[in-house]
A and B are shown apart, each in its own frame.
Chain A
Amino acid sequence: MIKTERVFMPAKYMIHTQIVPNRFRPLTKSGIIAWWEGCLGCRVCVKRQCVYGVYRNRDLDVRQMIDSMDNQCMNCLRCVQGCPRELIHKSINPEYEALGDSHWTPDIIAQLWNQAETGKIPVSGAGYSGPFSGPGFDSMWTDMSEIVRPTRDGIHGREYISTGIDLGGTPKHLAFTDSGDLESEPPSLVDMPLPIILRVPPFGSLSDNTIKGWAMGARELGTFLALPNEIIKGELLAFKKNLIPIISPCHPLLHDALEGVRLVEVPWGEKWKEITQKIKEAHPSVLISYRTPLVRGVEEKVLSIVNSGVSIIYLEGTSSGRVTDDNSIFIKDGIRQTHLALVDNGMRDEITILAGGGLAMAEHAAKSIICGADGVFIDFPILIALECRMCRRCTKGLPCPVEIDRAEASWVASRVTNLIGAWHNQLLEVMSAMGIRDVRRLRGETGRAMFYEDLDRSTFGSLGTLREGYELE
C-alpha cells in the first residue's frame, strides 16, 4: 500500500510593517534660505503656490530649533525660481554633510532612518544618481533574467521566495543500517526565516529598554539578537529563544542565560576548547558559533577550524567593512576567498559561514551571500534605525543628541522590524530579478554577479594607449 501524506507548504514569511514616526526631526540634505528684507508682499506669493504646502504647514521645533520647512521641502525649486525679488535660495546643509564618516555616509544614514520610519523599500524617480562603481560591495552588480530564463515575481506576493537558512553543518553523506534505518546522527541545525541576525553594536547610547526593544524585534522577526552573555538577565531572560549570548573569556559563564538558548557565540582563541567543553557539559543541545576576525588569508584558518569539528563560524570584519589587518581589502573579498577555499576542499556544507562588519544597506546582505556567506550580522543599522547620527558623542560620555537611551522598548522593536522588513523586501527584489527562489541557492552564486575589476579591465583595459600624433579631446 502506498502511504500518502499531506504535505503542507510552510507558512509564508511576512514582516508586518507600519509607520513608526521619528522622535526627532531628521537632518536634511539642503535647507531653504528665505529672507523678508525687500519682500514686495506680492498678492500671489510663490510661497503660497508651493505644491507641497511647505510654507503653509511651517512650524518650529523649539526643542531642536529645527524649522519644519526643510523636512517638507521636496527640492522642486519653484519658489527659488519664481520669487520676483529672488529672496529665496537653497543651500547644502553642512550638518547633514558632516553626518557619519566615509563608510557610514550621510545618504546611507538618512536612508536607514527612512526605512525604519516607513518599513518601505526606498523608491525614487529618475535614474541612479551615484558613482559608476565604488569600493567594497559597490564594485559588484547582480544579475537579472530575461527571455532566456524566467524571473520570479516575489515582491508582490505572487510567487513564494524563501529567505530561510539553516545554521549548522551537514554531513558529507548519510549512512544507513542493513534494515534501512539511519545510522549516522542527524545533523543538529537551527533554522531561521531570514539570513540576517541582529547584533548589539560596539557603541551607542543604550539603555535596558534599547536592548529589550531589539530582543522584542528579533522575536517578532524570528531571528536572533547577539549580545554579551553577562548582560542577559531580568526581563531579557524571556527572549532566550531569540538571543545569541556572546561568551567572553574574561567573564564567568552566566548559566542562567545559557539555559534554553539555541545558539551561543564563542571567540576562537586559545581557550575555545575549554569554553566549549564547559558549555556542552551543561547545555548539550546548544549550537556554538565561533567568532574569528576576518583577516588576510583567513581561508587557511577557516579550513583548520572546520577540521577541528566546528560547524558555524562568524567572520567579523571592521565596522567599515574591511578585513581587520588591511584597510585596503574588503570583507566581500575575504568572504569570497573563504567560500572558494571551502568549495575547493569539498568542505563547504560542513560549515555555516556568518559574516559581518560594516554591513549598511540591504544590498550588502544580498551581496555577502552571493560572495559565499550563509547569513550576516548587522550591528550599526539597528542603532541608526533608532535615529542614531553616528556622531560618537556617547563614546566620550556626552549625552546622545537623539536620546536613544530614553526610547521606549516597543518603539525600538517596531523601528527595527520596519528596517528589516524593508531589507527583506529588497532581498526579494534582488532574488526575483535573478530568478532565484531560495536564498540558500543564492549562496556563492558569483557566476550570477558581475565584478567591476573583471568587467572594467576586460572592456576598457585595451583602451589605454594614446597613439603618436593624437590628443585627448
Chain B
Amino acid sequence: MNKELPEVVITPSRFRNPIGKYRLHRTNECTGCGQCVEICPYGVHVKIGRVLTKNHYRCIGPECPNACFEACPAGALSLKRNPTFDTMGDLRWTPDLLVSTWCMAETGDVPQGGLEYRIGDSNGGFDRLRLVFPRFHRTNSSPLNEEVDLGIELNRRDNSSHRIRIEVPFYGAGMSYGSVSITTMLSRVRAATALSTFSCTGEGGYPDQLKPYDDHVITQVATGLFGVREETIKRVRIVEFKYAQGAKPGLGGHLLGDKVTPAVARMREAVVGYPLFSPFPFHSVYSVEDHKKHVDWIKAINPNALISVKVSTPTDVDMVAIGSYYAGAHIIHLDGSYGGTGAAPDIAKKNIAMPIEYAIPIVHKFLMEEGVRDKITVIASGGIRTPHDVAKIIALGADGVCTGTAELVALECIRCHNCESGRGCARGIATTDSELMKLIDIDWGTQRIINLFIAWRKELIRILKRLGMKSIRELVGKTDCLVHLDYMNK
C-alpha cells in the first residue's frame, strides 16, 4: 500500500443504551462480589462501587465460554434475549447483521461471537452462496497480511485519462445532498479519503464543504441535473452518469417537499418545500450513440476524468454493459434490484429488474466473450452488506463494489424505512432537518465508517489468505471458490 492505513479508534454508539441480542438481568441477590466483572471477556459488567451490567450489548449469549450467568455464586444473573432486538431489521439486514455492523463500526473488527455477521436470511443469492476454502492450510506458503493486495485499478482502457487505483475493492455509492445530511456526506467522504478510495455525491449537487476532499469525490450526473455545473465536473477525477438506480429501475427519483429545505433548494437550484422529480430516463438518450454524446460532453469539459456509467439490471443488461464500454466508459456500475434508496415504491424495489447476483455473472461472461473484459472495470452494488458479499460478488465476476446502506448502518441506521417521511430520519442520518442533523458529530461518523471499512478489509484479507491468494484481482470470476447450497451434491 502506498498510503498508511488509518487507525482504528474505538467509537461506541452515540446512544446511551446500545442494542444487543441479549440482556442480563441482575436480581437483588447480587452480593457485589465482582466475579462476573472478572470472568467476562467482553466487558459487559463493571464495578463502580457496586457491580453494574453496563454493556448488555456486548454479551455474546449462551455460547459464552465464561458464562457469568452460570458462574454467579449468588445465582443473581440470568440471560434473556432482548425483545427489542427482534423488532429491528428484516430478512436482508437481519438484526444479527445490523448489530454486527455496529460492532465493526465500534471496534474495527468482526464480532467475537454470538452473531451471524456474514449472511442474512433472504434464502437466496448471497445468503445461499458459500465460499469454499482448501481444507488443509499450507501455512508456510500463505502470504503475510501486508502482502495481500486489495487494491484495484479503475482505469483499464486508456492512457489519456487519470490512472486511478483505489486501495480497497469498494467505494461509496451516490447519496444526494438532501436525501442525506451534509454530516453524513462528510463522514462518508472523509472515511473514503482516509482509505484511499472514493465517495459519490449522488445527484443533489456538490456542496462546497466537500472541496478539501475533491480528489476522492465522484460527482454524479443524473436526469434531474441538480447542481451539475462545469465547475463541479472539473473538480473531480471521476464523473458518474446515473441512468438508473437499482431500487427504482425505470422510474425517476423523487425528493419529497418536506426534505427540500432552504439549503437543499439552494444547492439544487429549486424552490423550498416543493417536491423534486428527477425524470426517467434522460430524455436525450434513447440509444448507445446518444449515450456516447453524453460521455463526449463530459470529456470536453474534463478531458482526464474517468467515466462511470451507473445502470440497473434489465433482461438485456449485457447489451447495456457492452454499449457503455463502446461509448467510452471506464467503469460500468451495475446496481441490482435490491439496493437501497431514500424513497421508492415498494412494488419497484421488490419486483422490477434482477438481483445483482444474477447480473454480474451475465455481464462478466458476455464481456469476456466480446474480448473487452480487461478493458473495463465492473462495479457491483445493490445489496452488498458484508465483506463476504464483497468476496462472493467478485468471485462471480465483479472487480469491486459500491457500498451504501452498510455505511448508513455504521452510523446506526436501524432500517426503519422512514427516510422519506416528514422531517426525515429520526436518527439524524437521512435528513436535512437542522435539529435532527445535530445528532451526528462528523468526527464520530467518519471514524465509525473508517472502523467498518477496516473490519471489512481485515476480513477480506483473511478470506484471500485462506484461498491462498495474494491479490483480490486473482478472485475475479473464480466461481470455483463458491458453492450454492441449493445445488450442492448431497
Question: Are chains A and B native binding partners rather than an unrelated pairing?
Answer: yes
Whether the pair B123, A132 counts as a contact (CB closer than 8 A) is: yes
Question: Would you call A121 an interface residue if the criterion is a C-beta within 8 Å of the partner chain's C-beta atoms?
Answer: yes
Whether the pair B244, A146 counts as a contact (CB closer than 8 A) is: yes
Residues of B within 8 A of A471 (CB): 132-135
The 0/1 profile, CB within 8 Å of B marked 1, for residues 131-157 of chain A is 111000000111111111111010110
Question: Would you call A284 an interface residue if the criterion is a C-beta within 8 Å of the partner chain's C-beta atoms?
Answer: no
Report the nearest B residue to A132, measured CB to CB.
B124
B398-445 interface (Cβ within 8 A of A): 405, 413-423, 425-427, 430, 436
Distance of A143 Cα from B320 Cα, bound (Å): 13
- Contact for A33 among B83, B425, B487, CB less than 8 A: B83
Given A125-B420, A126-B419, A433-B352, A146 and B132 contact (CB-CB distance below 8 Å):
no
Distance of A132 Cα from B128 Cα, bound (Å): 10
Whether the pair B90, A129 counts as a contact (CB closer than 8 A) is: yes
Whether the pair B133, A127 counts as a contact (CB closer than 8 A) is: no
Interface size class of A (residues with CB under 8 A): 35 or more
The segment from A12-20, A79-87, A260-268, A377-385 that touches chain B is A79-87
The 0/1 profile, CB within 8 Å of B marked 1, for residues 148-169 of chain A is 1111010110100000000000
Distance of A305 Cα from B345 Cα, bound (Å): 40
Whether the pair B487, A147 counts as a contact (CB closer than 8 A) is: no
Whether the pair A127, B92 counts as a contact (CB closer than 8 A) is: yes
B234-268 interface (Cβ within 8 A of A): 243-244, 247, 249-252
Question: Would you call A328 an interface residue if the criterion is a C-beta within 8 Å of the partner chain's C-beta atoms?
Answer: no
Question: Would you call A327 an interface residue if the criterion is a C-beta within 8 Å of the partner chain's C-beta atoms?
Answer: no
Question: Would you call A57 an interface residue if the criterion is a C-beta within 8 Å of the partner chain's C-beta atoms?
Answer: no
- Contact for A80 among B17, B249, B343, B488, CB less than 8 A: B17
Report the nearest B residue to A139, measured CB to CB.
B124
CB distance from B485 to the nearest CB of A (A): 9
The 9 closest A-B pairs by CB, nearest first: A132-B124, A433-B250, A125-B419, A129-B90, A464-B487, A144-B250, A76-B426, A81-B15, A460-B484
Extra A-B contacts (17), CB below 8 Å, given A128-B92, A467-B132: A77-B416, A84-B16, A89-B82, A92-B86, A111-B346, A123-B346, A124-B343, A131-B124, A132-B123, A132-B127, A142-B352, A144-B312, A363-B347, A363-B351, A432-B250, A457-B487, A472-B131
Report the nearest B residue to A468, measured CB to CB.
B135
Residues of A within 8 A of B286 (CB): 149-150
Given A78-B427, A125-B420, A129-B415, A146 and B312 contact (CB-CB distance below 8 Å):
yes
- Contact for A123 among B125, B131, B343, CB less than 8 A: B343
Question: Would you call B354 an interface residue if the criterion is a C-beta within 8 Å of the partner chain's C-beta atoms?
Answer: yes
Report the nearest B residue to A74, measured CB to CB.
B418
CB distance from B369 to the nearest CB of A (A): 15
- Contact for A124 among B128, B134, B346, CB less than 8 A: B346
Report the nearest B residue to A156, measured CB to CB.
B277
CB distance from B301 to the nearest CB of A (A): 21
Given A52-B426, A126-B405, A148-B320, A450 and B315 contact (CB-CB distance below 8 Å):
yes
Distance of A331 Cα from B286 Cα, bound (Å): 36
CB distance from A65 to the nearest CB of B (A): 21
Given A146-B314, A148-B288, A456 and B486 contact (CB-CB distance below 8 Å):
yes
Question: Would you call A455 an interface residue if the criterion is a C-beta within 8 Å of the partner chain's C-beta atoms?
Answer: yes
CB distance from A77 to the nearest CB of B (A): 6
Question: Would you call A122 an interface residue if the criterion is a C-beta within 8 Å of the partner chain's C-beta atoms?
Answer: yes
CB distance from B289 to the nearest CB of A (A): 10
Residues of A within 8 A of B430 (CB): 125
Q: Is the interface of B mostly helix, strand, loop or mixed?
A: loop
CB distance from B27 to the nearest CB of A (A): 14
Distance of A151 Cα from B362 Cα, bound (Å): 23
B364-418 interface (Cβ within 8 A of A): 382-383, 388, 405, 413-418
Distance of A143 Cα from B316 Cα, bound (Å): 9
The segment from B141-149, B204-212, B213-221, B334-342 that touches chain A is B334-342
- Contact for B414 among A75, A459, A470, CB less than 8 A: A75
Whether the pair B340, A126 counts as a contact (CB closer than 8 A) is: yes
- Contact for A82 among B17, B123, B419, CB less than 8 A: B17
Whether the pair B487, A74 counts as a contact (CB closer than 8 A) is: no
A429-473 interface (Cβ within 8 A of B): 429-430, 432-435, 447-448, 450, 455-457, 459-467, 469-473
Question: Would you call A30 an interface residue if the criterion is a C-beta within 8 Å of the partner chain's C-beta atoms?
Answer: yes
Report the nearest A residue to B91, measured CB to CB.
A131
Q: Which of B91, B252, B291, B355 is packed against the most chain A CB atoms within 10 Å? A: B355
Given A147-B291, A153-B252, A74 and B421 contact (CB-CB distance below 8 Å):
yes
Residues of A within 8 A of B479 (CB): 462-463
